[in-house]
Every structure is written in C-alpha cells, then in structure tokens.
A and B are shown apart, each in its own frame.
Chain A
C-alpha cells in the first residue's frame, strides 16, 4: 500500500468507539501499574541500595 493511500485511509477512517474490553484493558493496566509502582517505590525506600 502506498503512503498516499495510507494518508487517505488515516484521514477518512471512521471513528471506532472504545469497546468495554478496551476500557477494561486501559483501566486495569493503569490501576495495576500505579499500585505496583507505589509498592516498588516503598520497597525502594525501605530496602536501600547496597554498595
């Protein structure tokens, strides 16, 4: 497919609304990510680097 065809495709693409499964994927990813990051930050705080 040529790049001009790709350009047409992107310009005229119909909008696909977010499906519930996509919303779940985004929501769960962010929630797990933030929780894990907070946990790791606490671990990082309480387990200092050993030199």
Chain B
C-alpha cells in the first residue's frame, strides 16, 4: 500500500506534517494509563480519587464532589478544577503527539470541557434526573422528567448541536478539541475493565453474550453491507467510489470503517470524509430517539435493547453512548416497579457488539480492496491490496479494551480475596473518567453535526440512501436479530 493510501490513519496537519502516532494507539495509551493509575488503589495508593463526579442535585452546592473520600477536602469545585487541569495536561500532550497546535488546542479544550461538563451538571438537576417517587421526595420536588443522571449526556449533545447550528464560527474555533473518536476510544479502553468487574461473577452469562456477538458481525458485514450497497448502486445510481464507503458507513461503522474502506478501494479522501459527516449527523438523530423507543418497548428485554443500540447506531461513540443512555432509562423504568437490575450489562452488551463489529473492519476493507484492485479498477502490482493492510487498518483501541477486560477479570477472580474486594472500587475510579470521556464524546458529536450540511446540494441524495437504508432496513433487522439472539436473557438482579 502506498504512503498516500495510509494518510487517513495518521493525522496530518494542514502544513503536511504527519503525526508520529495514530489516534487509535493514543487512545490505548491514555486508556491504559488511567486504568493502571486506578489500580494503584489496590495497594492503598489512591492516585486518581480526585476526579470529579456529579450527583443528582436540587442544591447546586451539593452536585459535585471528588470520587474518593480520600480527596474529600478538595470539595466539588476543587475536584472539578483538578480534573480539568489533569485532562488539559494529558490531552495537551496527546495533541502535541498528534502534531496539533497546542495553544489552539488548550483554548479549544477549555471551552469544550467547561461547556460539556456544565451541560452534564444541568442534566443532573433533580427536576430532570430524579427517577422514582422516593427520589423526588428526597429532593423535595413533585415532578421530574425522569431522564436519569445519564440524561446529562443528552444535554451535552444538545449543547453541541446548538453551537454547531447557531454559532458555527464558535464551532469552528473549538474544532481542535472536538475529537469524538479519540474520546470514545479512550472510554472504550477503560470500559473493558469496567465490564470485567461487572461480569466477573457471571462468566457464563458474559461468555454467552460474547458468543452472540458473532451474529452481529454476520449481520453487519454480510447482510447489511450487501443490501445497502445494492440500494445505493441500483436504486440511487451511485457509482462504485461512493457506494462502497457509503454502504460501509451505514452498515458497519460511519467513521472508522468508511474511511478504511475508502482507502482500501483507493477512493478520493473526500468521499469517506463526507460519508462520515453524514453518518455522524444520523447517529445524533438515532441517539436522541432510539434509547427512548427502547425504554418504551424493550424495558422487559434489557439486553435486546443493548444489542439493538450496538447494531443500529453506526458510530462507535454514538453506539456506546446510546447503550449508556438506554441502560440508564431502562434500569430506571424497572426500578420504578421494584425490579433492580445490576448496572453495566446493557452498556456492556452494546459495547461488546460494537467492538465485535469493529474487529473485522480491517479484514472487510482488505476483501473489498482486493476485489477493487484486482477486478474492478485493476491497478499496477505495487498498488494492489496486500494482506498487511488488515493489520494496518485494524482499530487498535480494541487491543486496549481486551487488555483491560482480561486484567480486570484476573484481578477480580484470580487474586486473593483481600485484593479482589478492592477491585470494583479501584476500577470505579477509572469509570468516573470513562463517564467524563463519554460527556466529551456527546458534546463533540453535537458540535460536528451541522444539519445545514444535509440541505446542501449533493447531500440530499446521500442522505436519501441513508434514510431509506437506516429506517427501512438497518434499524428493524437489527431489532429482529437482537430479539432472536438476546430475548429472554436478563441481567442479574442487583444484590
């Protein structure tokens, strides 16, 4: 593969400077660093307990606090400032590694962090987040939207959407720190450890869920892709250069996969970039609708709902985030009738399904690249697709997810009881960072979603393919297959 064909993998500055590390590897480094620092708590060294956490509030002064009691003296505002400074330093270093302008990044990240976290805090206001009558009584209120505390993600998303569509110049100004793919990949690496702790006591159920993830791969790659490609080519008249990345974005993953396939079939870089923009916008619409549909109709089948989010929402960030909101809404609805499921299973199912789908991006890109360079646009021998591209296009953050999952599982099950009992609390601190990276992801997705773009000439036809495929096929087949493989499987009850 030529260097030009690999340019999408390594971030490149406008002046042509190519970063020495990819965003994927950076996500692995950042996620693992947070995970390892959290594990220091196992040897009575609390290194990241100062990270801020938000509770549902009716008195703003009580909304924020440090995650660990060891850092209670910081107070909520102190913990928030400490979290901001730490993320600014760490992500600033990441920006330097990605060859971004550090001064611009720092200014942009400051705006991104404070607006996104403020949205999260607002979303935790009791009138929005309190779920049960007991909660309402506790906060002295008589009504609530019952969005749960994770409804704060929706607030972050809406804040981003307002900026993108009402203040486009401000959106452009903070663009350097609007990195939903980086943020969600860091979160997914941490999520591996969190999911390990969740599943440690239920390995049989967890392995059953993972095996059922295979069905998701079959569906996304072999069924979705073929149908969407056919629709784009035959019904809408798209040429091959557009149809392949478009089918990939709609059926597999809007960003990573469409860019990988665009490179593999030697499409012009602009093609997968525009497809990605479109997919992100539709993912926003899905995140705003599907979790609430799932709460209304699938509250009695929580894992069907989780799998559905992983199958139907087509970017890593939006899929996993939709799983988080769905979990929160469904747990709340069940809690209201006295059924208390253990948290983590719905989100874990959505994330596992999406990770399983992502694992095969490199292989699918290679298959298409091989067909294109050997049978469709026959190229010179040195430009033909090579097997080495499978590894080059493999989403490396998945390695981080697997590592944290394996280490978390070992610590929870393979260590002496006096160590194992501290594992949930230690990984819980890392999980607080996971929540913050989710917030940054939601906000960033919103900022990237300029709906006006949909109305620009040319986008209408792309959007039409997406609309027909997503709402006519992808969502419903995803629901059917989720039901087929996950119905009747319930998360364990909380003890």
Contact = CB atoms under 8 A, between A and B. Distances in A.
A15 B356 CA distance: 35
Nearest to A2: B270
Interface of B: 202, 204-205, 207-208, 212, 214-215, 218-219, 221-223, 225-227, 229-230, 233-234, 237-240, 242, 268, 270, 274, 371, 375-376, 453, 456-459, 461-462, 481, 484-485, 488-489, 492
Contacts of B371: 21, 25
A22 B453 CA distance: 31
A41 B240 contact: no
Contact of B457 (A11, A26, A40): A11
Contacts of B225: 29
Contact of B205 (A6, A27, A41, A50): A50
Contacts of B237: 13, 15
Interface residues of A, number: 33
Given A7-B458, A10-B462, A26-B229, A32 B234 contact: no
B270 A21 contact: no
Contacts, number: 105
Interface in A1-51: 1, 3-4, 6-11, 13-16, 18-19, 21-22, 25-27, 29-30, 32-34, 36-37, 40-41, 44, 49-51
Contacts of A36: 218, 222
A21 B238 CA distance: 17
A13 B234 contact: no
Nearest to B237: A15
B215 A37 contact: yes
A18 to B, nearest CB: 6
B226 A40 contact: no
A50 B212 CA distance: 12
A10 B274 CA distance: 12
A13 B202 contact: no
A3 B481 contact: no
A26 B484 CA distance: 24
Contacts of A34: 223
